[in-house]
Chain A
């Protein structure tokens, strides 16, 4: 098991390095000069040159890349062109919004999907199965930002029981901050719940047809016990795979939902940085997203090892 882990970790580092180089190159060839955007259309050439010097944009490509990489490895992600503050701090602040938002959305997604999926599978072709199918079709079909707008109209504008957007910050107390995340989390989690419900239903149905479930029933377990003790645990592998993918989707999908709800999260930071060509922030945020996806996949692989003892042997998976 240690050898499996070590091999995975080595691959992880190489992937991250390759990704960092790719990100830096792509951002570098992107049209648009940050100095021109900062100084507008009236700036004279000498002013632009002065700003490029100040930003370090006049240095050669490789020097800038190594400088950035070296900084990133030591935790110095550079200084934002637009905000004038360290990017590490900016990302840290934004994560305080985006991570709780994604976790809450994931909780909503799991909380709806697992019971509904299991219910639909255990009562295949019943009215309940049909209704669950309807729910998952609907929630997959509607985009998150649209759900967000409807939620705002109903709960904020009409009923006035929820804030229309914005984030008071955790310093304002747990409840006001948490409350600001509820509607966005529903908007973000609902489409994911639809997908997860379908996956759970299919996975449980597959397992229910297996011999070991029949054996469990034959040795005298109730249908309920056979379902929860034998079928559901064995159906978890595809569910966890989708969950891992989903969490990365949630972080990325937050871009739209954060804009609709005006939440100062990581997604909005990336969006703004792109529009203003705050290249250093873009590089850092994209690197962060990529590192996150890579680590998430790593974590999912590890989770398999725990869920399925067969994979713990050398040469498994």
Chain B
């Protein structure tokens, strides 16, 4: 009697977990037939239109699943053709001529052609645009659609990163009919169609049976994104099988426990999140390069990674990640050396150190890193007070906008954003014409090898000059059912690309 009751209630759980898929196909289906995936994310997206809002969670649900671009960025961070099958760049770098795919339809039936692509780009660069990366379209002088298969972008000056930027979620090509409603009911050209959004809980996608690119069609029938903020709850959901994968698991200290579970695969990769302790380069004593270098040399990056993120994460010496083209390991430029740091500080006129305050956001990595930094700085006689601030709201208004801070710490999420050191105003208040020159040269060429070399130079300037303390790249703690194949190990761009994902027999 008792055992019968238990097995009955177990059956209930199984039904609840597998949901409708199981109910439709009948109980007891072999696992080989599984074509649904439940993917967990910590943060729920703010709307589902990556072209009108910045939060990365939007792209992590929609980009490459629902929405596609003229070009895309693959799992190695390389630019690949997508809605544009090929392109030609004029010798002066001012005219980009794209040949577009034919026979592509949006999920609502609207046909994709050059006129639609033109409208999407005009929307992103127009006067009323609320595109979070509108700056990426700033050098586009005109957009022309001479015929249905041809799109021509005329630029006001050469923009070497334009193709890469066109691969971003914020550059997704949206339909003319559907653009206004994409925030709640996204319509794209991708391998999955939007089905439903239970706010606060999950977003459901279904396979697009009419997908134009048969080679890249989705293997899954349904994909469900579930939003679970609490890391303990994330771990429980993975262990109980409520969630099949957590591509960005939230708590490094729980990884060892999850690795013991034979059902699960743990795949550690790199994100684009650069954990950086930015300094106010306009404020004493951080306006002195020697002080910044001394602080950098006081930092034992391995200790920071160990203390802040359980040893997961790659130390960096500049504002660049190993995912990115032209990466140079510069952690040796100002390697951990307490004696040298002390000597430099003395030379700069601070033989007895100084006192300052770090405004540290509430996130765990920022709080823990700050505590380690506090201890490391104490070694060279520098006293750092920690003041907690609320991210993003208060941090953006006080530090980012207001510039009222000595030091702060935050993970810069945007891929390939080394150009922030050339922006003015920007919260570092870093001004270096030599650096700006190098970045201008990056845009002047569209040769990938030349760009990689120039990015190397830019990284080196920052590593020497230390406008911010470069700590580590946040790891991508991927945890998923061992039978799930095809998810990305690294994240050269924040995303969860699902068209290649499938269950292994």
Query: What is the interface of chain A, defined by CB distance below 8 A to chain B?
Result: 30-33, 36-44, 46-47, 50-51, 54, 81-85, 90, 93-94, 149, 152-153, 156-157, 160-169, 172, 175-176, 179-180, 259-262, 264-265, 268-269, 272, 275-278
Q: Are B229 and A259 closer than 8 Å at their CB atoms? A: yes
Q: Are B392 and A37 closer than 8 Å at their CB atoms? A: yes
Could you say which of A41, A149, A161, A265 contacts B6, with CB atoms under 8 Å apart?
A161
Q: Are A163 and B240 closer than 8 Å at their CB atoms? A: yes
Within the assembled complex, what's the spacing in Å between the Cα atoms of A169 and B200?
Answer: 12
Q: B505: CB under 8 A from chain A?
A: no
A44 with B228, Cβ < 8 A, contacts A161-B9, A164-B233 known: no
Q: B226: CB under 8 A from chain A?
A: yes
Q: Are B16 and A262 closer than 8 Å at their CB atoms? A: no
Within the assembled complex, what's the spacing in Å between the Cα atoms of A180 and B184?
Answer: 27
Q: Are A43 and B134 closer than 8 Å at their CB atoms? A: yes
From 1 to 59 in chain B, residues with beta carbon under 8 angstroms from any chain A beta carbon are 6, 9-10, 12-13, 15-17, 19, 44, 46-47, 52-55
Could you say which of A31, A39, A149, A164 contacts B54, with CB atoms under 8 Å apart?
A39
Q: Are B130 and A41 closer than 8 Å at their CB atoms? A: no
Task: For the complex of A and B, list the 6 residue pairs with the smallest distance between their C-beta atoms, beginning with the closest.
Answer: A32-B393, A40-B54, A264-B200, A82-B46, A164-B236, A84-B183
Q: Are A42 and B16 closer than 8 Å at their CB atoms? A: no
Shortest beta-carbon distance, B256 to chain A, in Å? Answer: 16
Within the assembled complex, what's the spacing in Å between the Cα atoms of A46 and B138?
Answer: 12
Q: Are A172 and B396 closer than 8 Å at their CB atoms? A: no
A44: which B residues are within 8 A, CB to CB? 134-135
Once A and B bind, how many residue pairs between them come within 8 Å at the CB atom?
Answer: 165
Q: Are B230 and A41 closer than 8 Å at their CB atoms? A: no
Can you name 8 extra interface pairs (CB under 8 A) apart from A32-B393, A51-B130, A85-B199?
A38-B132, A39-B130, A50-B127, A83-B47, A84-B183, A163-B16, A165-B228, A264-B198
Could you say which of B13, B230, B232 contacts A162, with CB atoms under 8 Å apart?
B13
Could you say which of B19, B134, B198, B414 contacts A47, with CB atoms under 8 Å apart?
B134
Q: B171: CB under 8 A from chain A?
A: no
16 A-B residue pairs with CB within 8 Å:
A39-B132, A41-B396, A47-B130, A85-B184, A152-B236, A153-B236, A157-B240, A161-B13, A168-B16, A179-B12, A180-B16, A260-B230, A262-B230, A264-B200, A269-B200, A278-B46
Within the assembled complex, what's the spacing in Å between the Cα atoms of A40 and B393?
Answer: 10
A259 with B230, Cβ < 8 A, contacts A152-B236, A163-B16, A163-B240 known: yes
Shortest beta-carbon distance, B284 to chain A, in Å? Answer: 25
Shortest beta-carbon distance, B153 to chain A, in Å? Answer: 20
Q: B503: CB under 8 A from chain A?
A: no
Within the assembled complex, what's the spacing in Å between the Cα atoms of A114 and B398?
Answer: 51
Q: Are B237 and A83 closer than 8 Å at their CB atoms? A: no
Q: Are B237 and A165 closer than 8 Å at their CB atoms? A: yes
Could you say which of B53, B199, B233, B394 contacts A32, with CB atoms under 8 Å apart?
B394
